[in-house]
Structure 1
Amino acid sequence: MIRKWWKEAIGYQIYPRSYLDTNHDGIGDIRGIIDKLDYIESLNVNLVWISPFYPSPLDDNGYDISDFKGVDPQLGTLEEVKELIEKAHAKGIRIILDCVLNQSSDEHPWFIESRSSKNNEKRDYYIWAQGKDNQPPNNWGSFFGESAWKYDKLTDEYYLKIFSDKMPDLNWSNPTLRQEMADIIRFWLDLGIDGFRMDAIAHLGKDMTLTDSTLESDERGIAYDWSKFSNRPQLFDYLQELHQKVFSHYDIVTIGEVGGGAKFPEGYKYTNPQNPSIDMVFNFDHTWHNMPYGYEVLTPEKFNTNVIALKEDLDYWIQNSQKHNIHPPMYWLNHDHPRVLSQYGSLDYHRESGSMLGMVLLSLPGTPFIYNGEEIGMTNVDYTNPKDFKDVNTRNYFKNNAHRLTIEQMMNHMRYTGRDNGHTPMQWNANQHAGFSTTTPYLKLVSNYTTINVQDQENKEKSILNTYRTMAKIRKDNIQLFAYGTFELIDAKHPDLFIFKRQFNQEKYILIANFRDYEVPYQLPKYQEVTFHNYDNLANAKLRPYEAILLKES
Structure 2
Amino acid sequence: MPTRRDVLRLIAVPLAGLAFAGRPGLLLAQAEAVGNETWRWWKEAVVYQIYPRSFMDSDGDGVGDLPGIVSKLDYIAALGVDVVWLCPHYPSPNVDNGYDVSDYRAVSPLFGTMADFDALVAGLKARGIRLIVDLVVNHTSDQHPWFERSRSARDAPGRDFYIWRDGRDGGPPSNYPSLFGGPAWTRDDTTGQYYLHLFAPQQPDLNWDEPRVRAEVHDIMRFWLDRGVSGFRLDAITFISKQPGLPDLTPDELRDPTRVYADGPHRDDYLREMDREVLSHTDAMTVGEAGGVSAEGARTLTDARRHELDMVFTFALVGLARTVESPSALLPAMRRIIAERDRAAGDDGWVASYLENHDQPRSLSHFGDPDLAWRTRSAKVLATLLLTQRATPFVYQGEELGMANYPFTSIEQIEDVRAKREWRERIESGAVPAAVALDALRHTGRDNARTPMQWTAGLQAGFTTGRPWLPVNPDAVTVNAAGEGADPNSVLLFYRCLIALRKRVPALVHGAWRDIDPDHPVVFGYTRTLPDAACLVLMNFGREPIAYRLPPGVLAGEVLLSSEAGTGPAPGVPVVQLAGWQSLILSTAPAL
Q: Same fold (TM over 0.5)?
A: yes
Partner SS state of residue 318, structure 2: helix
Match among 456, 472, 484 for residue 429 of structure 1: 456
Q: Counterpart in 2 of 1:312?
A: 336
Give the distance between the partners of 2:250 and 2:514, measured in 1 at CA.
41
Q: How does 1:132-147 map to 2 (within 5 A)?
A: 132-147=168-183
Q: Is 1:452 matched up with 2:487? A: no
1:488-527 per-position Cα deviation (integer Å, ceiling 9, x unaligned):
1111122222111111222111111111233344236752
**How far 1:264 sits from its partner (Å)?**
2.9
Q: Counterpart in 2 of 1:268?
A: 299
Match among 51, 60, 71 for residue 35 of structure 1: 71
Q: Is 1:174 matched up with 2:210? A: yes
Match among 261, 264, 267 for residue 235 of structure 1: 267
Q: CA RMSD in A?
A: 1.7
Partner SS state of residue 66, structure 1: coil
Q: Counterpart in 1 of 2:394?
A: 369
1:104-128 per-position Cα deviation (integer Å, ceiling 9, x unaligned):
0011111111111100012111001
Give the distance between the partners of 1:474 and 1:139, measured in 2 at CA.
51
Equivalent residue pairs, number: 540
Q: Counterpart in 1 of 2:366?
A: 343
Whether contact under 8 Å (1:213, 1:223) holds in the other structure is: no
Match among 331, 334, 337 for residue 354 of structure 2: 331
Whether contact under 8 Å (1:18, 1:423) holds in the other structure is: yes
Whether contact under 8 Å (1:113, 1:120) holds in the other structure is: yes
Q: Counterpart in 1 of 2:543?
A: 517
Whether contact under 8 Å (2:327, 2:369) holds in the other structure is: no
Q: Counterpart in 2 of 1:295?
A: none
Match among 380, 383, 387 for residue 358 of structure 1: 383
**How far 1:301 sits from its partner (Å)?**
4.7
Partner SS state of residue 468, structure 2: coil
Q: How does 1:60-75 map to 2 (within 5 A)?
A: 60-75=96-111
Q: Counterpart in 2 of 1:383?
A: 408
When the two structures are superposed, what TM-score results if normalisation uses the length of structure 2?
A: 0.88
Q: Is 1:504 matched up with 2:540? A: no
Give the distance between the partners of 1:64 and 1:418, measured in 2 at CA.
19
Give the distance between the partners of 1:534 and 1:553, measured in 2 at CA.
18
Distance 1:101 1:302, change over 3 A: farther
**How far 1:4 sits from its partner (Å)?**
1.1
Partner SS state of residue 511, structure 1: strand
Q: Counterpart in 1 of 2:469?
A: 442
**How far 1:302 sits from its partner (Å)?**
9.5
Match among 507, 522, 535 for residue 481 of structure 1: 507
Q: How does 1:70-89 map to 2 (within 5 A)?
A: 70-89=106-125
Give the distance between the partners of 2:225 and 2:352, measured in 1 at CA.
21
Distance 1:302 1:214, change over 3 A: farther
Partner SS state of residue 356, structure 1: helix
Distance 1:223 1:140, change over 3 A: farther
Q: 204-213 vs 167-176, which deviates more?
A: 204-213
Give the distance between the partners of 1:309 and 1:545, measured in 2 at CA.
20
Q: Is 1:412 matched up with 2:439? A: yes
Whether contact under 8 Å (1:21, 1:436) holds in the other structure is: yes
Q: Counterpart in 2 of 1:527?
A: 556
Distance 1:355 1:384, change over 3 A: same
**How far 1:324 sits from its partner (Å)?**
3.2
Q: Counterpart in 1 of 2:6?
A: none
**Paired-residue identity, %:** 37
**How far 1:153 sits from its partner (Å)?**
1.2
Give the distance between the partners of 2:576 and 2:499, measured in 1 at CA.
28
Q: Counterpart in 2 of 1:225?
A: 257
Distance 1:302 1:229, change over 3 A: farther
Partner SS state of residue 522, structure 1: strand
Q: Is 1:16 matched up with 2:48? A: no
1:460 alignment partner AA: D
Match among 545, 548, 554 for residue 583 of structure 2: 548
**How far 1:216 sits from its partner (Å)?**
5.0
Give the distance between the partners of 1:330 and 1:547, measured in 2 at CA.
20
Give the distance between the partners of 1:487 and 1:430, measured in 2 at CA.
40
Q: Counterpart in 2 of 1:296?
A: none
Whether contact under 8 Å (1:161, 1:168) holds in the other structure is: yes
1:102-153 per-position Cα deviation (integer Å, ceiling 9, x unaligned):
0000111111111111000121110011111221111111111211111111
**How far 1:392 sits from its partner (Å)?**
0.7
Give the distance between the partners of 2:324 and 2:535, measured in 1 at CA.
35
Whether contact under 8 Å (1:215, 1:224) holds in the other structure is: no
Partner SS state of residue 536, structure 1: coil
Q: Is 1:59 matched up with 2:79? A: no
Partner SS state of residue 254, structure 1: strand
When the two structures are superposed, what TM-score results if normalisation uses the length of structure 1?
A: 0.94
2:538 alignment partner AA: I
User: Which gives a bigger RCO, structure 1 or 2 (Cα 8 Å, sep 6+)?
Assistant: 2
**How far 1:25 sits from its partner (Å)?**
0.5
Q: Counterpart in 1 of 2:20?
A: none
Whether contact under 8 Å (2:328, 2:522) holds in the other structure is: no
Match among 123, 146, 150 for residue 159 of structure 2: 123
